[in-house]
């Protein structure tokens, strides 16, 4: 089972969602307080079953929020961001060499986020 790891950073508090093997599968923005960070985790749990908008294909079909957006970054790597109903980004993934790996990251969030405990570092 995965876990949400909450930790203090220089400018606030953030979380990482880690898979059962310890790999980070999603990261949050930096929040101003632990309370707002925990609200972010609740939002990921609430929205993690969302549909995927694949922006890597020409003429992609737009999906309404909440959604995962899959895109190619400036380095040519595949990435995703999970957006809440209001359009705010609530979690982002690392860069992946293949779209399949990126989609596997999203599948891992869908599997791990709903039941993962919250731990503080």
How does pLDDT run across 67-77, given as a tens digit for each residue? 999 999 999 99
- What whole-number percentage of the chain has pLDDT above 70? 100
Alpha-carbon distance 96 to 77, whole Å?
Answer: 5
Q: How far is CA 76 from CA 23, 36, 38, 56, 99, in A?
A: 22, 33, 32, 11, 11
- Annotated domain spans of the chain: 3-120
C-alpha closest to that of 91 among 36, 31, 34, 17: 17
In CATH, the architecture of 3-120 is: Roll (2.30)
pLDDT tens column, 4-32: 999 999 999 999 999 999 999 999 999 99
Q: Can you give the pTM of this predicted structure?
A: 0.94
Alpha-carbon distance 73 to 116, whole Å?
Answer: 29
Q: What element of type H or E holds 103?
A: helix 99-112
Inform me whether the pLDDT recorded for 51 exceeds 90.
yes
Summarize the confidence of residues 53-69 as an average pLDDT: 97
pLDDT tens column, 74-93: 999 999 999 999 999 999 99
Q: What is the pLDDT of residue 1?
A: 84
- What whole-number percentage of the chain has pLDDT above 90? 98
Who's near 16: CB < 8 A, 6+ residues apart? 4, 5, 7, 24, 26, 27, 28
**Helix runs in 4-97, H state only:** 34-47
């Amino acid at each position: 089972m995965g876990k949400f790891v909450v930790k203090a950073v220089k400018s606030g508090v953030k979380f990482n969602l880690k898979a059962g093997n310890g790999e980070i599968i999603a990261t949050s923005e930096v929040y101003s307080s632990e309370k707002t960070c925990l609200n972010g985790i609740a939002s990921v749990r609430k929205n993690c079953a969302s549909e995927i908008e694949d922006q890597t294909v020409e003429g992609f079909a737009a999906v309404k929020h909440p959604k995962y957006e899959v895109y190619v970054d400036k380095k040519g790597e595949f990435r995703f961001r999970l957006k809440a109903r209001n359009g705010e980004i609530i979690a982002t993934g690392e860069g992946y060499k293949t779209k399949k790996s990126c989609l596997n990251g999203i599948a891992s969030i869908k599997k791990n986020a709903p039941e993962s405990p919250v731990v503080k570092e």
